[in-house]
Structure 1
């Protein structure tokens, strides 16, 4: 089969039928392309083994067409060998888990499409992804970070107003950075203090935010955004320096820069989401509420934040148990 055509067909399935995000589709395609690259027929492999000192094949060996892929070579042994090679290369447990998931998704799809005689990935096992919560900010550190962003915004610079509002929303609403930059102005209800976002699997949810975030967002929408908007600007909530939609990389760079300026733990935008979840639980919120705010499909994903709330559990135990 033509490799590029196969991958393009798989891409359409992931994006249209599965409704996966652009980031996930791109990651799955890269994983499957890597897998397909290991499916080298014996005659091609033998020709490569016999190559000359300069790496060229013997004169009587036809050039292999690497644009073609033979799925007959794809079986459980090939999948396990590929995944073992990824582990040997030092890939993290989370990366291995994602690549195994991508392979299983591909083999199931390929079988249903008639490209594979059987779903060879059904019995492919993978390590559990690392469930440890990454570095988070203490409540005081989060306050220092947001105060630093607010102080910078006092000069009225549109970029500083934008950064302040973006950080406030990342922490107050616990949204993913992709959800933040994907939001439009119309998705904000300033009176109700809510933000509508499109999460994983194209699932829409409405998340609340507090007064401090509302104050920063008002300053950005009233004074910052109009200064950056052009006639061709999209309806994006956050704009870049040239008036286009703000990108994920730009937000990540600003978060790193502001954590350094505030003198708190360095973390990525997702760290603010983790911090928000942890602080909600520490403040007494129940798991179901936090699950809904974060947009987690499974409650098990939300439960990984509970282990950092041991102090709250000890306090509740000491107050309630007669033998504490």
Structure 2
């Protein structure tokens, strides 16, 4: 297992979030093998045993999306074992993933959120301006949580007003910085310098102890401010990424351009946002057309 996770981290360049999830998934599977079948090595499990584990997850009312992630983990693991000649046949070839009902990505309303950014009085302090720049970054660039945490000050091009982002699969992309975000970055950096001088982390976003931010911290910040404008459960950092894409699409942005900004590998992943746009068009049509 240790070799497998090193392979995912250093060769496949999986994100820290995915690595943590896969650690959990493979650990749960190993516990199941030991408790139910007294098997200590997952390499000894065949497709019937794996299928029984999946069935037990279904019986526990685990969401299909979560089960599919666990199946994806096992697919990667047994494919790795096969490449290392630890097993002679891949048991996952006979495993089918449960169907997942596609949900439209949640997003925050455009006007209330922009009113929050423009009208809310964030504290004129390191913490207050850090909160603001977190919101501005997620909404203004559409970047992922892990990408935001990984940004260093050197990734910001002051002349081109762009930010360099290292995305999934170690793929690099350049995202333009809007004027509002640019102003927030400069204000935050001034506070950061006054707070820590030159003795701080190279990462852009840090705690009050000059350590890099972590996912739960950003989750708390985003939830705190989104809850001021909506009671929706859609209040995670990823919702601001969805909002970025949906609002661009509603304003007539090209789908391929949105794909490149989001760092999607294929257009299929971006097309899900067109459904939100279509729902808005339906609403306008029903209100405005005399025959609606």
Taking structure 2 as the reference length, the TM-score comes to 0.89
Q: CA deviation at 1:277?
A: 0.7
CA deviations over 1:228-247 (Å, ceiling 9, x no partner): 33554221111211111122
CA deviations over 1:247-285 (Å, ceiling 9, x no partner): 221111111111233456450111111101101111111
Match of residue 157 from structure 2? 189
Aligned pairs (5 A) from 1:241-320:
241-262=208-229, 265=232, 267-310=235-278
Q: Secondary structure at the match of 2:75?
A: helix
Match of residue 193 from structure 2? 226
| Residues 103 and 304 of structure 1, relative CA distance in 2, 3 Å threshold | same
Aligned pairs (5 A) from 1:1-324:
7-40=1-34, 68-69=40-41, 71-72=43-44, 74-149=45-120, 151-153=121-123, 156-221=124-189, 223-229=190-196, 232-262=199-229, 265=232, 267-310=235-278
Q: Secondary structure at the match of 1:191?
A: coil
CA deviations over 1:74-121 (Å, ceiling 9, x no partner): 111111111111111121121111111111111111112121120111
Match of residue 289 from structure 2? none
Count of residues in Structure 1 that have an aligned counterpart in Structure 2: 287
Q: Determine which structure has greater relative contact order: mean sequence separation of CA pairs < 8 Å that are 6+ residues apart, divided by chain length.
A: 2
| Residues 311 and 113 of structure 1, relative CA distance in 2, 3 Å threshold | closer
Q: CA deviation at 1:288?
A: 1.2
Cα distance in 1 for residues equivalent to 2:25 and 2:9: 16
Consecutive unaligned residues in structure 2, runs of 5 or more: 287-291
Contact 2:207 2:213 in 1 (8 A): yes
Q: CA deviation at 1:17?
A: 1.9
Which protein has the larger Cα radius of gyration, Structure 1 or Structure 2? 1
Contact 1:104 1:124 in 2 (8 A): no
Q: Secondary structure at the match of 1:261?
A: coil
Contact 1:199 1:295 in 2 (8 A): yes
Consecutive unaligned residues in structure 1, runs of 5 or more: 1-6, 46-65, 319-323
Q: CA deviation at 1:33?
A: 2.1
Contact 1:187 1:196 in 2 (8 A): yes
Cα distance in 2 for residues equivalent to 1:313 and 1:140: 17
Q: Secondary structure at the match of 2:164?
A: strand
Contact 2:68 2:97 in 1 (8 A): yes
| Residues 81 and 313 of structure 1, relative CA distance in 2, 3 Å threshold | same
| Residues 260 and 148 of structure 1, relative CA distance in 2, 3 Å threshold | farther
Q: Secondary structure at the match of 2:97?
A: coil
Cα distance in 1 for residues equivalent to 2:178 and 2:232: 24
Contact 2:151 2:165 in 1 (8 A): yes
CA RMSD between the two structures: 2.6
Contact 2:147 2:166 in 1 (8 A): yes
Cα distance in 2 for residues equivalent to 1:308 and 1:263: 18
